[in-house]
Amino acid sequence: MTAIQSADFTFDDRREHSSHDQVQPVFKGQLPERGSRMIKHGTVVVDLPGPTLRTGAIDPPPAVLRIRPTRDVFGRVVMPARVWLHAGEHAVIAGIKAIQLPRKWLSKLVAGDVIGFSDARESKRRMRITEVTETGCWAALEKTAYVVPGVTLNLKKRDGRKKSVRVTDVTRKSRQRIKLKEGDLLTLTRDVHSGRPAVLDRSGSIKTPATIGCTSSSVFETVKTGDPIGFGEGILGGVIETVEPDALHVRITHAPGSARLERDMRIDLTNRWSR
C-alpha cells in the first residue's frame, strides 16, 4: 500500500529504510533554478509500515570438503593443498580445511606417511603427512579431492599399525546460498523450510529448479503472471511465469555477477529492483 502527498519542498532521489522496511525520502535544499522558474513542489512516495516479505530457510550445506592445490595458468601445481587432520577435541580455526578422524588411529601417524583413498567421486587420491603436533597433523595433496564422512583412508605402509579408518566428519560452510543466473527458473513456495539449490543431472543440466520459501502466504493470492519480483534490494530479479495455489515459478532476468539467494532476503513485488 502506498501513500502519495504533495508539499512545498524538494528532495533528493535517495531512499532510506526504517526498522519497518518503509521507504523514507532524504530531504535537501531546493533544487536549482531552471530558467526563470523555481521548482518548489514535489511528490513523495512512501511505503507504509506493514509485513515485509522475506525468503525462508535454506537447507544446511552438505558435508563435503573440497580440497584443491594452487595451480598456475597452465594448470600446473605451484602449491599443494594443506588439510588439517584432527580428532575433534579442539576447535578448528575458521577457514582451515579439516578432516576429523578417530584419535587412536590419528595418534599413530608420523611425518612422511602416505595415505591413499577414493574420494566422493571415486577418484583415487593420496595425501602425505608433512607435520605432526600434539593436537593433530598437517597433510598435503597434489590433486583436488572431495572428502565426505565415511570415506576410507588407508596407510600405504602400515608398520604394524591399523591400516584403515573412516572419516568421521569434515569442515563445511556455515550456511548455504543458492546461486542463480539469468534464465534460471526459481520456485517460490508457501513452505518456509523448502529452500534448496537446483538439482543437476550428470551433464550439468537442471533436473529440478531451485526452491525457496516465502514468509507470507498472502502473496500467492495477490500476484499474477507477468508481475515483476525482486530479491535483496536488487541483487536478483525476475518475472513470475506461472502462479499455482502453493507455488510461484519465477524466471530470473536480473542476476549480475555471482548472484546468490540467501535466507531472510527481502522480496520486492514492485518494479523498483529493475532500476
pLDDT of residue 42: 52
254: enclosing H helix or E strand: strand 247-254
Confidence band, pLDDT 50/70/90 cuts, at residue 93: confident
What is the per-residue pLDDT across 19-29, written as a single tens digit (0 to 9) for each? 444 444 444 44
Query: Identity (one letter) of the amino acid at 145?
Result: A
List C-alpha distances in Å: 15 to 46, 54, 73, 223, 247: 10, 19, 44, 25, 31
Instruction: Give the amino acid at 8.
Output: D
Q: What percent of the chain has pLDDT over 90?
A: 61
What is the structure's pLDDT at 272?
57
Three-state secondary structure call for residue 210: strand
Residue 220 · residue 245 · CB < 8 Å:
yes
Q: Determine the Cα–Cα distance for residues 18 and 28; give it in Å rounded to an integer.
A: 19
The residue with greater pLDDT, 18 or 243, is 243
CA dist., res. 112 & res. 125, Å (int): 16
Position 237 pLDDT exceeds 50? yes
Average pLDDT over residues 156-162: 89
Residue 215: Cβ-neighbour burial (10 angstroms; 0-12, 13-18, 19+): middle
pLDDT in tens, 31-46: 455 454 544 455 454 4
Give Cα 216 to chain centroid, integer Å.
Answer: 22
- pLDDT (0 to 100) of residue 206: 86
- Give the HSE-up count for residue 238: Cα atoms under 13 Å, Cβ half-sphere: 25
Residue 15 has pLDDT above 80, yes or no: no
In degrees, rounded to 5, the angle at the alpha carbon of residue 149 between the alpha carbons of residues 143 and 155 is: 60
What is the Cβ-side half-sphere exposure of residue 97, based on CA atoms within 13 angstroms? Answer: 18
Check residue 29 and give its pLDDT: 46
**What is d(CA 86, CA 192) in angstroms, rounded to the nearest whole number?**
36
Domains of the chain and any CATH numbers? 2-47 (no CATH), 65-170 (2.40.33), 178-274 (2.40.33.10)
DSSP for residue 153: E
Q: Give the pLDDT of residue 249.
A: 96
Cα within 13 Å of Cα(59), Cβ side: 11
164-189: per-residue pLDDT in tens?
999 999 998 878 899 999 999 999 99
Q: What is the mean pLDDT of the chain?
A: 83
By residue count, the chain amounts to: 275
